[in-house]
Amino acid sequence: MSSKRDREYERRRHEKWVARQAAARTQRRRQQVVAGVVVGALVLGTGVVAAVALTRDDGADDAATPAATSTPAPSTTALPARTGNGGVLPEAALAEDRTWSGTLTTTAGDVEVELDGAAAPQAVANFVTLAQEGYFDGTQCHRLVTSGIYVLQCGDPTATGSGGPGYAWGPIENAPADDVYPAGTIAMARVGGDGESMGSQFFLVYEESQIPSDAAGGYTVFGRITSGLDVVQAIADAGTGADGVRPVTDVIIEGVEIQ
């Protein structure tokens, strides 16, 4: 994007953020749960298997996590934290036990999705609520994994891998028994070994990936991509930037419409 477009985009995003903050509840809790998918290498005899884990910055010991931990994705711009739904976990009943459809509008193209409110009611209620209040608008997909597992991670308003909505939730819902996540899967990121640590960050699987369960189990699958998988694949094909973490070209979620 041009610098002029950058400035205009940041201005609009800031205005929307100020408006949401003015309307939000006065209660604000310091972010307790951080998320950011990292890839760890487990040497298993003849090969290396990538496992998804999430980092935390609260001083917790991640030594028991079966995946090596890395620092959160570096941030090139100081972005404000956001509190979603006033810092309160949405009721699972809001998922209405039904299928939701929607579109993630990104700077790389549109991604159409279906969310399964019957199989993963808490995850869907959480995502729909955050989307409808504009929580994801202007957020950057901060991590791309192109080896071992194949995912694009988004949903952190700070673009650092450490941001979330001000609350954490669990347990894990609808995780695959065989640890296989087909291309097009949409799943929740979480802290390694902690099934009660999900927040706002999610990942899009662009190629089938086997992601080993950890002490907490697998990863909450709450939807699938119905159109636009090629958009995510193109992001992956372009690779990561100099930091080896973010997509080489910034991928910004401009808006999410869900119905």
Degrees to nearest 5, angle at CA 246 with 67 and 173: 50
Measured distance CA(130)–CA(137) in Å, rounded: 10
**Predicted local distance difference test score (pLDDT) of residue 67:** 30
User: Computed from CA positions of residues 75, 79, 80, 81, in that sequence, does the dihedral angle turn out positive or negative?
Assistant: negative
pLDDT higher at 5 or 255: 255
- The count of C-alpha atoms lying within 13 angstroms of the C-alpha of 90, restricted to the half-sphere facing its C-beta, is 25
CB atoms within 10 A of CB 212: 16
Which whole number is the average pLDDT over 74-90? 81
pLDDT given at position 244: 95
> Which tops the pLDDT comparison, 190 or 44?
190
13, pLDDT greater than 90: no
Of 248, 245, 252, the closest CA to residue 38 belongs to 245
Ranking 31-40, 168-177, 183-192, 229-238 by mean pLDDT, the lowest is: 31-40
Residue-wise pLDDT for 162-205, tens only, equals 899 999 999 999 999 999 999 999 999 999 999 999 999 999 99
pLDDT at 10: 60
Q: Average of pLDDT values for 210-231? A: 98
Selection from 17, 69, 249, 34 nearest residue 160 by Cα:
34
Return all residues near 178 (Cβ < 8 A) that are at least 6 apart: none
Percent of the chain past pLDDT 90, that is, above it, reads 68
Burial-class residue 30 by CB neighbours within 10 Å (0-12, 13-18, 19+): exposed
| Residue in the block written with tokens 């609520």 | 129
Window from 44-48, 182-186, 254-258 with minimum mean pLDDT: 44-48
> Considering the chain, what is the average pLDDT of its residues?
80
Structure tokens at 206: 């662009």
Specify the pLDDT at position 64.
Answer: 27
Grade residue 49 by pLDDT with cuts at 50, 70 and 90: very low
For 102-126, the pLDDT digits (tens) are 999 999 999 999 999 999 999 999 9
Question: Bridge partners of 38?
Answer: 53
Q: Report whether 115 contacts 128 (CB < 8 A).
A: yes
